[in-house]
Amino acid sequence: MSHTEPPPSSWTEQLRALAPAMMAASPYARALGAELGEVERGMALLRLPYQNAFIGDPSTGVIAGGVVTALLDQTCGYAVWSALDGFAPIATLDLRIDYMRPARPRESLQARAECYKLGRAIAFARGLAFETDPADPVAAAQGVFVLTDKKAGAELRRRSLPAVEGAGEGGGHEPLAR
């Protein structure tokens, strides 16, 4: 069975270049202050500098879970965008967050997410939030996203996501940290 690779797309490069403007255009992305650190096809990494405004527990300086939720939501969203061949609007349908431990006060957070399955209308993503070591995560996320403009979604959907090939065959539990 011959497997046709999509032509090498510059969309990943474009997304990397567009990200600052996309985040600047979104008021809450601006308030959150996360920056796109890395993007590859089907994978995104965001960095979130610590802000005192994020504190949920004033006795320890630990940030609120909602901040971690927002970071993981956004990172999963970028992972989905990076799996497409161009920009299409997406919306979060469902997001599950597991909080493994409190984030360390006054330290930046990172989140890394991958889009491990992309359908015509629905995309599945998962991610981890951590300070420096993905093997010692603060939280894990599993998200389902809707491509709200179905026509654009179908056109922009890639044929395959080589980075996570086999995900549909039970082999999809490769570690997020690579």
Partner 1 sequence: MTPEVLAAVLARIPYVAHLGVHAELHGDEMTAVLPYSEHLIGNPMLPALHGGVIGGFMELTAVIQLSLQSGDGAPKPIDVTVEYLRSGRPRDTFARAEVKKVGRRIANVQVEAWQEARAKPIAALRGHFLLGAGT
CA distances from 36 to 58, 78, 145, 157 (A): 28, 9, 19, 22
CB of 23 to partner 1, least distance (A): 11
> Is residue 93 involved in binding partner 1 (CB under 8 A)?
yes
Token look-up 């979104």 returns 26
Which of 8, 131, 19, 14 has the alpha carbon at shortest distance from 75?
19
> Is residue 151 involved in binding partner 1 (CB under 8 A)?
no
**Given candidates 2, 3, 28, 133, which one binds partner 1 under the rule CB under 8 A?**
28
- Contact segment (CB under 8 A) with partner 1 among 4-12, 97-105, 106-114, 154-162 equals 97-105
> Is residue 63 involved in binding partner 1 (CB under 8 A)?
yes
Q: Identify the H or E element spanning 10.
A: none
Contact yes or no for 156/86 (Cβ under 8 A):
yes
CB of 55 to partner 1, least distance (A): 4
> Is residue 121 involved in binding partner 1 (CB under 8 A)?
no
Q: Whose Cβ is closer to partner 1: residue 4's or residue 28's?
A: 28
**Given candidates 33, 99, 163, 167, which one binds partner 1 under the rule CB under 8 A?**
99
Q: Whose Cβ is closer to partner 1: residue 102's or residue 172's?
A: 102
Distance CA 72, CA 96 (A): 10
Kindly state the DSSP code that residue 8 receives in the 8-state scheme.
P
**Given candidates 31, 121, 135, 177, which one binds partner 1 under the rule CB under 8 A?**
31
> Is residue 70 involved in binding partner 1 (CB under 8 A)?
yes
Which of 85, 90, 97 has the alpha carbon at shortest distance from 143?
97
Angle between helices 11-25 and 65-83 (to 10 degrees): 140
Residue ranges that bind partner 1, judged by CB under 8 A: 25-32, 52-59, 63-67, 69-74, 89, 91-99, 102
